[in-house]
Amino acid sequence: MFHMFKSGACLTRDVGVGWRSVATSLNYDRIRRLVHGILAGDRGALSRAITLVESTKREHHLESREILSQVLYETARKDTVPPKTFRVGITGPPGAGKSTLIEALGKHLTAQNKKVGVLAIDPSSAVSGGSLLGDKTRMMDLSTSPNAFIRPSPTRGVLGGVSAYTFDVLCLTEAAGFDITLIETVGVGQSETVVGDIADVLCLVVPPGGGDQLQGIKKGIVEVADLVAVNKADGPFLHAARNTAKDYRDALHLLRPRSDDWTPEVVLVSAIENKSIDKLWEKLEEFQKVMNKKGIIEARRRHRRSEWLWSQLKEELITCVIQEEPLVHALLEKLRAKVILGEMTPRAAAEEIVQQMIKK
């Protein structure tokens, strides 16, 4: 069923030692069990595999790589064009009701026997060790559904950057049969770009606001949103929510749509009262249908994978080759003084270092 295991010998990173060839003794029994489990849709196996992806231990990192390679071998064979999986990015300011909306949307989908994964991208954790998204224990109802898989954000920086990490986790959840993935992030700083990179569709969730509704929400997020959900359209907030929806419709009208095939829309919802969640899903599905018909989702995914290869390669080269290379350190010491004193430009110094490395 599975392709051959790679040999135990491989080139890997050993933190503080540099690149070297090591005869690894990976736990192949565990790898085999987890791969079987994931492909059979076992949530426990999926959780354990993700923990290996998150781990900074070298052997865990290698095990997760082996698991991913076997899992991808299987899923790639069954992959269809257009893809049957759908990656929905949910972003918005803190307190907009993203988690409540994800729970409502998740329940709407699991009730239809759809399998839903929920992932969180938390840029704050990588930088400060804190967590913007907090723990996701709020999605209590959804987490008890066998059709749902909820994974809280990592609590520390992960090797290779947030998008590379989330992409690995996404591959695993999809391999376990969770065809719809809701990817949540707080719309601040870089995070919406990351979720925009990973998701097929980006839904911006905003609360009703008085006066300047777009205040505090960066224009950049609105520009990349495919849908805007104005949440909390209930009780005393209903009137304000309607006004906010109008403001967003006007704002979107002035912006050039991201794609000629889709004009972003604004939907009024109430996550708490479960109002118009079906309408929101209809819109998301419509987006999926329109974009898949033109092959746009698959084309975007392919393009991104290729882009990530470059960014990962650069990152790996910097962290594993350049920073570990004694020659680079020696040259850096020598040339840094010249650069600081203005005797040499940083570009010339960098070129000199690279030339010396190539000659070596």
Please give the residue ranges that form the binding site for ligand GTP (CB under 6 A).
92, 94-100, 133-134, 186, 231-232, 234, 237, 270-272
- Cα 319 versus chain centre, distance: 22
Cα–Cα distance between 321 and 294 in angstroms, integer? 41
DSSP-assigned beta bridge partners for residue 293: none
For ligand GTP, the closer of residues 92 and 117 by Cβ is 92
Q: CB count, 10 Å around CB of 194?
A: 22
For ligand GTP, the closer of residues 105 and 171 by Cβ is 105
Cα–Cα distance between 171 and 164 in angstroms, integer? 11
> Which residues contact residue 283 at a Cβ distance below 8 angstroms, ignoring those fewer than 6 apart?
227, 265, 267
* Least distance CB 270 / ligand GTP (angstroms): 4
For ligand GTP, the closer of residues 39 and 109 by Cβ is 109
* Least distance CB 287 / ligand GTP (angstroms): 21
Structure tokens at 214: 């777009």
* Least distance CB 114 / ligand GTP (angstroms): 21
- Cα 51 versus chain centre, distance: 16
* Least distance CB 267 / ligand GTP (angstroms): 12
For residue 143, count CB atoms less than 10 angstroms from its CB and return exposed for 0-12, middle for 13-18, buried for 19 or more: middle
Query: DSSP code of 149?
Result: E
* Least distance CB 236 / ligand GTP (angstroms): 8
* Least distance CB 359 / ligand GTP (angstroms): 52
* Least distance CB 153 / ligand GTP (angstroms): 11
Q: Give start and end residues of each alpha helix (H) in 176-205.
A: 191-198
Structure tokens at 277: 């969640």
Alpha-carbon separation of residue 73 from 5, 70, 77, 112, 180 (angstroms): 12, 5, 7, 29, 20
Question: Is the dihedral angle over the CA atoms 148, 154, 158, 164 positive or is it negative?
Answer: positive
For ligand GTP, the closer of residues 103 and 324 by Cβ is 103
Alpha-carbon separation of residue 265 from 79, 239, 283, 349 (angstroms): 30, 19, 8, 50
Three-state secondary-structure class, residue 40: coil
* Least distance CB 3 / ligand GTP (angstroms): 41
For ligand GTP, the closer of residues 99 and 147 by Cβ is 99
* Least distance CB 151 / ligand GTP (angstroms): 15
For ligand GTP, the closer of residues 46 and 271 by Cβ is 271
For ligand GTP, the closer of residues 238 and 328 by Cβ is 238
DSSP-assigned beta bridge partners for residue 230: 206, 268
The secondary element (H helix, E strand) that includes residue 151 is strand 148-151
For ligand GTP, the closer of residues 64 and 191 by Cβ is 191
Look at residues 141, 276, 288, 300 and name the one whose alpha carbon lies nearest to residue 205: 276
Looking at beta carbons, which residue is closest to ligand GTP? 97
For ligand GTP, the closer of residues 98 and 151 by Cβ is 98
